[in-house]
Chain A
Amino acid sequence: MSAVHRFVDLLGGRCDPAAVASRDWDGIIGVARSEAMLATLAYRLEGADLPPTVAALFADQRAAAEVAQRQALWEAEMARRALAPAGIEFVLLKGAAYAAAGMACSKGRQIGDLDILVLASDIRRAENLLLKAGWEWVKSDPYDDHYYRAHMHELPPLIHKVRDRMIDVHHTILPRTHRITPDALALVSDAVTGADGYAVLCPPDMAVHCAAHMLADGDLQGGLRNLWDFHTMTRDFAAADPAFWSKLDGRARMHGLQAAVQRAVRLSRDLYGAALPGGCDRQDPADAWFRRRLLARDDWGRVTQPLLEQAFYIRSHWLRMPPAMLARHLWTKWRKR
């Protein structure tokens, strides 16, 4: 059995950590690191019977993840202080949202940039306020800047000049040029506010966004992590609300993301052993390509199928923009190399 399968089985609870041979941990840890999920695994296996050096490494990872999470939430607080006085409300997305809402998938989850969602009508004001509060543009290239503003679902990334942390300010969850146009107004207006005052997407929208980010927008870089987010959040949402699966289906349909959500549901069953309601428990032959892409890691953490990786990269661009525009974009990018 390969390291990546063992890794997925450990997360899914289908493999007894005490039964893993000492030398097999190298590969499991290598895969986990390459997927930025070592701390996630460390939390998943907290208290398990592990070789002492592995247990010590995992304890380090948990402690480090806790600090990193506090630092990520501090960035959310900094954004709030910059935007709230001007009356701009924002919704936290992805890692910071999971952490603010105290969700299971946030345990050990790496949080890179701060992702927030604001109303499209607020986005220029939000940008100005952030610039005044010490964030700066990262992209100095005029084409990239124009590209973001004209076609993307977010502002060009901003980085804080003192704290060196990035913020991505979104006005919707898929690029403007994408074939699918989710209902951004509904995302913001149905967001829910937690005890600490941060708004996050309502449960079905959060799952829809997670699936969209993984399967409709990106090239499945970090796919195992996104799928783990999706799996644990849908599991917990369904446990708290018996009507969750049907609500998820309704929202996915409304946003035009039913196919992405259904695929995410099936993949979380295939890889992490999710228990699904009857209606979703189907097979799709194309899923095999996605499983292969998600599991394409060797025990040194390297990508094993570069052609497949490349194919998914091309697919992500194909989904993002119409063919003529894609050709123009690639031509411009190629000339700038």
Chain B
Amino acid sequence: MRHSTRIAVGPVQFRIGSDWAEPVAALERLYAGYPRDETRPADATVRLFAARPWRRWLRPSVHIGGDFVVPDALPLPLSMGLLAAEMGMNLQVALGWRRHMLLHASAVAKDGRALIMSGESGSGKSTLAALLGEDGWRLMGDEFTLIDPAAGDAFAFPRAVSLKNEAIAEVAARVDAARLGPLLAGTPKGDIRHLIPRADAIAAMHEPARPALLLFPRFGGEIAVEPMGEGEAFVRLTEASTNYVALGEAGFAALTRLVRETPAFCITYPDSAAGIALVGQLWAEMVR
């Protein structure tokens, strides 16, 4: 393809090709601090392309493709090329990665132990992870948490955090502006701005952490903590996994073990400060 770059996030080496220079340049700025290995073959390929040659210039619209393609996925305008790249990377991992069980969950770690947060979009799992990552925790990722089926360890996928809407101002107030990507206003997912994880989180991205606490956050409403049974946590995580079925018996074994060994709670919180306090409290009580 005309423009291309290579990015390693956690165990996944991406090759990203584009018909336009802008998305590649934006990615390279965002991922400048990540380790680069130009000779390592890619695990996953993302293609950002114009459906018709003239659409490179005329109302340019970015189609997302690669090893795996979602038929009928709508293209994005070139001004949202960075979002297209992010969606393409997520798509390839979600559909193609088989080494680990993938959980659509954020995670942070402390002392080699992982706190895993799973929830629908809007639950605040990304925001909580981003804020905890600025507050003494190692950010493992805001989108995917990888579980090693053999050992049960959690592995990080610390892509640039995708902050949305109100979370943008909240996080921007606490971090150096150089760690924020461009504001992508009015995307199909609302306003988006990327946060580059701290350098130490990127440096530690290959280090496993033992799952120690599973949280299912819910943003909005009175503070509440409900312990969750193994069965419910299991079912929720099968729904949050993109490759649980494809992994077959190994996926079942990994997930069973995860919910048996890891205490799980559903938490409700009215704002980020309360959420973080709640997480700290549960961590202190449950993880020793």
Contact = CB atoms under 8 A, between A and B. Distances in A.
A22 interface: yes
Most buried by A among B39, B41, B42, B247: B41
**Size band of the A side of the interface?**
20 to 34
Interface centre among A22, A53, A54, A300 (most CB of B within 10 A): A300
Contacts of A67: 246-250
Given A68-B246, A300-B1, A301-B67, A22 B41 contact: yes
Interface in B4-23: 13, 15, 17
A53 B43 contact: yes
User: Interface majority SS on A: helix, strand, loop or mixed?
Assistant: helix
Q: Give the interface size class of chain B.
A: 20 to 34
Interface in B22-55: 39-43, 45, 47
Contacts of A51: 40-41
B67 A64 contact: no
A64 B98 contact: yes
Interface in B114-138: none
A51 B99 CA distance: 17
A68 B250 CA distance: 12
Contacts of A301: 45, 67
Contacts of A25: 41
Given A300-B17, A301-B67, A64 B246 contact: yes
Contacts of A302: 47
Interface string B219-251: 000000000000000000000000000111110
Contacts of B17: 300
Contacts of B99: 56, 60
Interface stretch (A26-34, A144-152, A206-214): A26-34
Contacts of A124: none
Instruction: List the 3 closest A-B pairs by CB distance, nearest first.
Output: A25-B41, A67-B248, A64-B98
Given A30-B67, A33-B45, A34-B67, 18 more contacts: A22-B39, A23-B39, A26-B15, A26-B41, A29-B42, A29-B45, A33-B67, A51-B40, A60-B97, A63-B250, A64-B98, A64-B246, A67-B246, A67-B249, A70-B248, A300-B1, A300-B47, A302-B47
